[in-house]
Structure 1
């Protein structure tokens, strides 16, 4: 909006207001007197442009986007702590119980035992919120002495940790709220409620899916996968707390359909096929995530283009997607995920 308000433009406009019987050349008294003011005015216009961007929903960032979004009751989701399984053994490799609240360390990240799930098996909560709690694996070191404990192992991810919601995800939820008419208990309302739950990246509400007065809400995580049972239960509980009475509600994770590729590749000389397979897998993953719960068709032609776009690929032959050469049509509660990529 203010791109034209440059130092040169402003200075020229100021000098034009000075009578022509005064020396206005560069280095003159009037030129040197007006130039610093023109610099400041140009900076003010830059600041105005920045400030305008910070109050508009399509360009606001960070805390300024938070302020815009809250006007429609859309609040940034905070980081969430990962919940992991932990197994604990004595010197004879038998399971051993530990006190609830026991703390353990691994790779400078600490975990706390929060509940027992079986003999020598516990749920451990990462003390640091975010995705960092999902990726660590190996042996735990007890922070405090636990009698009889010989080995502690950090196991599977039970509830994935997540970083604080990024700007683009928050912006998308804001525009969803602004553009989709939410009325009491319509499908958009159920989707809106579901996406308020930390870790739920998107949702699809299916009205009358099992007869009158039934609603099914299908969930995916921020990483476009089916949520853990604990997260589905959390979403179910929250939606029930705010939805209209008398509705038969079902909340479920999406059904994941593995997308398997098979075919032959013609590669440039010296290209490592494993590198190509990695690039194709990454491209397929990006594509499937981009359409998850948004499009009902996985397109054969799109997958073919992903293969051709991989560095080092000249051509392909006999490409099959899940054994065929046609588009894959998904059910309303289904998404595609990367399966086997068998290209050689």
Structure 2
């Protein structure tokens, strides 16, 4: 019996179950109808027992990793030395100018807000060596701070302030790890033991960094003692140079590479890199119902294809345990499955990647690590 089946068994023990079970034991010559003395005497106890049964069902579910949720899943994680990954803060670069359009030097801690009905708030956390350039950190954790590029308004009083423009998001944030994500990580955490600088040790350390979502690790990629770690940011996209440098310095500081001053063992020279972006164009032929045109569903079709490509990127760092390799494949059949879920579509055929009728296996070797990016989507109907 699975935990869910056992919980369902307890959940089925409701008020009717307990009141009927109790009344079945009352002598048949007594009145047991609702409103009778014996019924009214037993009913409160039946309610209490039904509530207790629901509590037992919750306890059963939260006892096992496969079915626990919320804080109870966190407790299960702590038993294995893991914790839920919390939401992180977006970091971005901005250009600050004074009233005359000249570079402006603000102060650490100065606050800014994006323009909009629900603004995001940022705090200046680092000044660049280049005059007028600064790094800002979002005050609210999560992906909400990743999307804004444009003008900022000062919240702090900044003498001579003229303008502030967001240049780029250098380290995007992520939302807190969901129950399903934490559960999957827990259930796979004991497959290989992380120890002493083995591949699993590198993977665990890098993935546990708050700004990294995925990594491919290649040992001895350039001779004995060399290790290559190719990383993705929290949006499963190519990382900025700032993030690459951050990970490199945590694992194997550049100013003393190979000497064991990071988490890498003595003698390990670690290279941290970004993958090569491979843009893939998609073409598809669709059929719709008589009341729907291609233009009516175009946006949903493009969104479905984009979500599929995103899902492939999310599995980019998964290791093939038996072969100890990485496999990243785009399947035409999965595109069709995704499209058939779009309302108004009756069929999807002739799916092509870059004009070819075949699936695409991306290169994932120690020298070339490709990351799929969606290019143009051509829809015929």
Q: In 2, distance between residues paired with 1:290 and 1:244?
A: 34
Q: How far is the alpha carbon of 1:316 from its aligned partner?
A: 5.7
1:334 corresponds to 2:370: yes
The more displaced of 234-243 and 266-275 is 266-275
1:141 corresponds to 2:153: yes
Aligned residue in 1 for 2:323: none
Aligned residue in 2 for 1:43: 51
Contact (CA 8 Å) 1:80, 1:198: kept in 2 or not?
A: yes
Aligned residue in 1 for 2:125: 114
Q: How far is the alpha carbon of 1:257 from its aligned partner?
A: 2.0
Contact (CA 8 Å) 1:83, 1:124: kept in 2 or not?
A: yes
CA 1:155–1:271 in 2, change beyond 3 Å: closer, same or farther?
farther
Contact (CA 8 Å) 1:74, 1:173: kept in 2 or not?
A: no
2:353 pairs with 317, 321, 334, which one? 321
For residues 181-217 of structure 1, the C-alpha deviation after alignment (integer angstroms, 9 at most, x for no partner) is 4344332222221211113223333333333343333
SS in 1 for 2:372: strand
CA 1:212–1:284 in 2, change beyond 3 Å: closer, same or farther?
farther
2:280 pairs with 259, 273, 276, which one? 259
Q: How far is the alpha carbon of 1:44 from its aligned partner?
A: 0.1
TM-score by length of 2: 0.79
Aligned residue in 1 for 2:322: none
Aligned residue in 1 for 2:3: none
The more displaced of 312-321 and 50-59 is 312-321
Q: How far is the alpha carbon of 1:51 from its aligned partner?
A: 2.2
1:78 pairs with 83, 86, 99, which one? 86
Contact (CA 8 Å) 1:281, 1:338: kept in 2 or not?
A: no
Structure 1 unaligned regions, length at least 5: none
CA 1:267–1:52 in 2, change beyond 3 Å: closer, same or farther?
closer
Contact (CA 8 Å) 1:130, 1:163: kept in 2 or not?
A: yes
2:108 pairs with 95, 100, 103, which one? 100
Aligned residue in 2 for 1:248: 269
Contact (CA 8 Å) 2:86, 2:176: kept in 1 or not?
A: yes
Q: In 2, distance between residues paired with 1:244 and 1:203?
A: 19
Q: In 2, distance between residues paired with 1:146 and 1:133?
A: 23
SS in 2 for 1:93: coil
SS in 2 for 1:84: strand
Equivalent residues in 2 for 1:84-233, closer than 5 Å? 84-107=92-115, 108-117=119-128, 118-233=130-245
Q: In 2, distance between residues paired with 1:307 and 1:63?
A: 37
Q: In 2, distance between residues paired with 1:340 and 1:80?
A: 32
1:290 corresponds to 2:311: yes
CA 1:170–1:340 in 2, change beyond 3 Å: closer, same or farther?
same
SS in 2 for 1:70: helix
Contact (CA 8 Å) 2:173, 2:234: kept in 1 or not?
A: no
SS in 1 for 2:356: coil
Q: How far is the alpha carbon of 1:258 from its aligned partner?
A: 1.7
SS in 2 for 1:138: coil
Q: How far is the alpha carbon of 1:314 from its aligned partner?
A: 4.9
Q: CA RMSD in A?
A: 2.7
CA 1:50–1:239 in 2, change beyond 3 Å: closer, same or farther?
farther
Q: How far is the alpha carbon of 1:221 from its aligned partner?
A: 3.3
Contact (CA 8 Å) 2:125, 2:136: kept in 1 or not?
A: yes
Q: How far is the alpha carbon of 1:265 from its aligned partner?
A: 4.6
